[in-house]
Structure 1
Amino acid sequence: MTHSANQSDRATVYVVDDDRDLGAAVARLLGRHGYAAEPFLDPVMLLSFYADAQAHCIVTDIMMGDLDGFGFADRVRAIDPAVAIVFMTAWPTTANAVDSVRRYGGLDYLEKPLDETRLLDAVAEGVAWSRQQRSARARTATLSARERQVFELLVQGHSNKAVADMLELSPKTIEDHRASIVAKTGANGLAQLIALAR
């Protein structure tokens, strides 16, 4: 696995840790591997402008002042569901490790002191996932409300006829919507539509 990002298309990574030295050190490490990395001491400050400066990946400490890493993850996800989150902590517990993935959508749960290789692997995986998510969202953003309804039902595995019955439309209308969805998303078939919906 390669750790360096393409310089012309540098992924943005934010590092959130109330330990100034550690946050800066992690950001420097990521910067040396080609990421546009920036450290933040306070998650609330990052949230205040995040909508205007989104990242591909956020590496965040769990134990911080007023807003912990899990609360921060919930709030940042509400703004940007396509950002990858990697948690780090000096006080690892199995419960937190499970929660970080199951409840808070974390990609990885790293113990401090950080293993550089594992951190770089997690960030690379996060950036790739985020880019895929953003691409899929861009491709489905042009769908009309009705096309989105049809899309959601098709990717759940319903046939054209079943979708027509559910929406009280003719099968021909569903076929027309399906053709439009395929044209707008560039998908060639149901398997690619399902992949877009994930």
Structure 2
Amino acid sequence: MSLSEFTVFIIDDDAAVRRSLKLLIEQENLRVQDFDNAEVFLKALKPDFTGCIVTDINMPGMDGLQLQEALYHHQCTMPVIFLTGYGTIPRSVRAIKAGAVDFLTKPITREKLLVSIRAAFVECKKLMETNRHNCEAKSRLSKLTEREKEVMALVVQGFSSKEIATQLDISHRTVEIHRGNIMHKTGAANLLELAQLAHDTELDDYKYSN
């Protein structure tokens, strides 16, 4: 997806600020939608929303930090840029630690805002690619049986087929069959790719039971 297809979602209870920000962003030929409070935005939020959120941190009702927490529970990974007229250091630190891209004080200059928005778009694209990669990895892993997952977890930890056979109390030949099935089902070309797949899906922490 091209960055030009992303949208800036403005959330601010001040209508004048929303109009100003929207005009500024539209002049850069960027898509933009605005909302007067966090609750309205959350009701409109859809899984296919892509881009970034530019929100006031101090709003009546749900404030910016509460919105950030709600986005996490909605599994929304769009980067957040906070704007405030009287931000404090503790709040800005809390926002950044929670994943905010930037914390800007009003009045914000055109240059600073646009730099933050473009950085947020780049971050959004990275997150989308990571999520897509993880979904593909989990899909490939879902083809394995529970026994094959047990074998794979031990394989990527460096255990030999003989050692795996002993730990799982199965024959060496059975382990070799499982290993062949694992490589075929996951599409891994070698042990390195298999290890990366296990890491991406946290299978390297898989616990087996005898």
Shared fold (TM-score greater than 0.5)?
Answer: yes
Determine the structure 1 residue equivalent to 2:206: none
Determine the structure 2 residue equivalent to 1:39: 34
Tell me how far apart the structure 1 counterparts of residues 116 and 11 of structure 2 sit (CA, whole Å).
Answer: 15
Determine the structure 2 residue equivalent to 1:124: 118
Q: Does 1:135 align with 2:134?
A: no
1:56-75 equivalence runs, <5 A: 56-75=51-70
Tell me how far apart the structure 2 counterparts of residues 42 and 15 of structure 1 sit (CA, whole Å).
Answer: 9
Tell me how far apart the structure 1 counterparts of residues 82 and 34 of structure 2 sit (CA, whole Å).
Answer: 14
Tell me how far apart the structure 2 counterparts of residues 84 and 13 of structure 1 sit (CA, whole Å).
Answer: 10
Number of equivalent positions = 179
Tell me how far apart the structure 2 counterparts of residues 128 and 36 of structure 1 sit (CA, whole Å).
Answer: 15
Check the 8 A contact 1:51/1:80 in 2, yes or no: no
Deviation at 1:160, TM superposition (A): 4.7
Check the 8 A contact 1:10/1:34 in 2, yes or no: no
CA RMSD after TM alignment: 3.6
Deviation at 1:25, TM superposition (A): 1.1
Deviation at 1:181, TM superposition (A): 5.0
Q: Does 1:78 align with 2:88?
A: no
Identify if the C-alpha distance between structure 1 residues 39 and 180 changes in structure 2 by more than 3 Å, giving closer, same or farther.
Answer: same
Identify if the C-alpha distance between structure 1 residues 145 and 135 changes in structure 2 by more than 3 Å, giving closer, same or farther.
Answer: closer
Tell me how far apart the structure 2 counterparts of residues 81 and 52 of structure 1 sit (CA, whole Å).
Answer: 7
1:1-198 equivalence runs, <5 A: 9-51=4-46, 54-102=49-97, 104-144=98-138, 147=141, 159-161=157-159, 173=178, 177=182, 181=186, 189=193
Check the 8 A contact 1:28/1:37 in 2, yes or no: no
Tell me how far apart the structure 1 counterparts of residues 107 and 182 of structure 2 sit (CA, whole Å).
Answer: 53
What SS does structure 1 have at the residue aligned with 2:120?
Answer: helix
What's the TM-score once normalised by structure 1's chain length?
0.72
Amino acid at match of 2:32: A
Deviation at 1:78, TM superposition (A): 2.1
What's the TM-score once normalised by structure 2's chain length?
0.69
Tell me how far apart the structure 2 counterparts of residues 195 and 115 of structure 1 sit (CA, whole Å).
Answer: 43
Gaps of 5+ in 1: 1-5
Tell me how far apart the structure 2 counterparts of residues 117 and 179 of structure 1 sit (CA, whole Å).
Answer: 51
Deviation at 1:182, TM superposition (A): 6.3
Determine the structure 2 residue equivalent to 1:3: none
Amino acid at match of 1:108: D
Amino acid at match of 1:76: L
Deviation at 1:195, TM superposition (A): 11
Segments of 4+ in structure 1 off by > 6 A? 190-197
What SS does structure 1 have at the residue aligned with 2:159?
Answer: helix
